[in-house]
Amino acid sequence: MSAGLAPGIDRLGTETAFSVLARAKELERRGRSIIHLEIGEPDFDTPEHIKAAATAALAAGHTGYCPSAGIPELRAAAAAYLGASRGLEIDPEAVIVAPGAKPFLFFGILAACGPGDRVLYPDPGFPTYESAIRWTGAEPVPLRLDEARGFALDLDELADALDGGARLVILNSPNNPTGGVQPADDHPAIAELLAGTDAWILSDEVYASFLYEGSFASVTEQAGMLERTILVDSCSKTFAMTGWRCGFAAVPEALREPITRFLVNSVSCVPPFVQLAAVAALEGPRGEVDAMLAEFAARRELVVDGLNRLPGVSCHAPGGAFYAFPNVGGVPVGAEELAARLLDEAGVAVLAGTSFGTTAQSHLRLSYAASRAALAEGLERMERFLATL
C-alpha cells in the first residue's frame, strides 16, 4: 500500500544528462572505458583564491542561517558584476542570491505564471524551462532556434508567437544545448517586439563569460527591458563552481518578494561561507576564467573540425558556451538510437537533441568540457562506430 503521488507529478520533466551520466558510470563500474561528453560542467577546479575565501569564512564562523535573499556583501558584488558586464546600473536591492541559476528558472516561472498562461521558451533549450512551465499548468510555446542562423531565434517567428500572447518569454544566449548566440544586432528588434507586450522576460545568461567572438550582449541593455527581466547569472560555469550552488539574479521589483518567499519556503538560504566565496569570485582576478575560455576555444576547434570530418555529420561552430550540437541527419540511424549505441557500443556518452525539446530531432549534444585527449579519443571512437553502420 502507498498513499500515491501528487496529481500532475508526471508534468515535471527531468534532465537527461543526469540519467546518461548514471548509466555511463554504471558501465564504468563494470569495467568499460567511457569518454564523458554528456555533462555540462567545466572540467576545471574552482580557482584557489575562491576556495581560500570559503576556508577563511568557515574559519571565521560564517556557518549559520543568513538572509534568504542573500548576504548584503554578495548582493552588492553581484549588482556591480552584472552592471559592469552588461553596461547597466543595478541596485543591490534588486539582486537575489539562490543555490545556482536553476531556482530562478523554477521559482521565477512559478512566481510569474499560472494555468493557461503562454510561456515562450527556446527549443532546443535547457530542460528545466519546459518542466517548470508544465508544472505550473501554463502552456509551453517553443521558440525554434534556427540552425541556419547558428541557432539564434528567428525574429519573425518570435513576432508570430508573441501575437498569440505571452506571460513570460525565456531567452538564453549563449544557449545550452546548441552553443548558439543571438546576434547583438537582433536585440533592438527583440526589445521592440517585447515592448509591445506586457510579458515578463527571463534572460538566462549563465554562459555570458564563454563567448568565442565579439563581446557579450544582453537584451537587458535595451531601454525598458531590465525593469521587466529576471536577469540570471551564476558562479557555476564561469568560475567552475557547479557544486557550490551559488547563482544570482537581478529581479524586477514586483517579483523580488515572491521569489524570495519561494526561497524561504524551500532552501532558506545559500550557505554564508559559499556566498563569501562568491564575493571573492566576482571581485577577484579573472585570469583563470580567461584561461578556461582560451582552452574551450581550442577544444571547440578540435571538436567541430573532427565532427565535420565524420560521414553524415555536420556541425556549426558554436558561438558560445561549451557545447557542440552536430546535425547527424545523414547518419543511417536516428539521433536517439545513435546516442544510445555510442554509449553502449563505442563507450562515448553524449546526449540526443531530443532531450532538449521537439525541434532538434537529428542532433547530438557533446560537451567539450573534457580534456583534448578525451575529445580526440571520443571522436576516434565515433568514427570507428559510424564505419560499422
Q: Which residues bind ligand PLP (CB under 6 A)?
A: 40, 100-102, 126, 172, 176, 204, 206, 234, 236, 242, 247
Q: Which is nearer to ligand PLP, 40 or 378 (CB)?
A: 40
Query: What does the DSSP 8-state code read for residue 177?
Result: T
Q: Grid coordinates in use for 378?
A: 571520443
Q: Which is nearer to ligand PLP, 17 or 331 (CB)?
A: 17
Give the residues across from 62 on adjacent strands.
none
What is the end-to-end Cα distance of the chain in Å, rounded? 48
Q: Which is nearer to ligand PLP, 181 or 386 (CB)?
A: 181
Q: Which is nearer to ligand PLP, 150 or 247 (CB)?
A: 247
From the list 304, 300, 299, 327, the residue with the least C-alpha distance to 314 is: 327
Least Cβ distance, residue 234 to ligand PLP (angstroms)? 3
Least Cβ distance, residue 78 to ligand PLP (angstroms)? 13
Q: Which is nearer to ligand PLP, 15 or 117 (CB)?
A: 15
Chain residue at closest Cβ approach to ligand PLP = 100
Q: Which is nearer to ligand PLP, 238 or 260 (CB)?
A: 238
Q: Which residue intervals of the chain are DSSP H helices?
A: 16-29, 48-59, 72-86, 102-112, 127-136, 155-163, 187-195, 235-238, 253-266, 272-283, 287-308, 335-341, 372-387
Q: Which is nearer to ligand PLP, 15 or 139 (CB)?
A: 15
Q: How far is CA 339 from CA 35, 248, 314, 359, in A?
A: 13, 34, 16, 17
Q: Which is nearer to ligand PLP, 218 or 381 (CB)?
A: 218
- Other CB atoms within 10 A of residue 49 CB: 14
Least Cβ distance, residue 167 to ligand PLP (angstroms)? 20
Least Cβ distance, residue 127 to ligand PLP (angstroms)? 9
Least Cβ distance, residue 262 to ligand PLP (angstroms)? 15
Helix (H, G, I), strand (E, B) or coil at 81: helix
Distant-in-sequence, close-in-space partners of 50: CB < 8 Å, separation ≥ 6: 239, 241, 277, 278, 280, 281, 284
Least Cβ distance, residue 246 to ligand PLP (angstroms)? 8
Least Cβ distance, residue 14 to ligand PLP (angstroms)? 13
Least Cβ distance, residue 228 to ligand PLP (angstroms)? 20
Maximum pairwise Cα distance, the chain: 60
Least Cβ distance, residue 281 to ligand PLP (angstroms)? 13
Distant-in-sequence, close-in-space partners of 29: CB < 8 Å, separation ≥ 6: none
Q: Which is nearer to ligand PLP, 104 or 385 (CB)?
A: 104
Q: Are strands 118-123 and 168-172 parallel, antiparallel or unpaired?
A: parallel
Are the C-beta atoms of residues 40 and 322 closer than 8 Å to each other?
yes
Are the C-beta atoms of residues 229 and 203 closer than 8 Å to each other?
yes
Q: How far is CA 47 from CA 6, 41, 97, 208, in A?
A: 42, 15, 21, 18
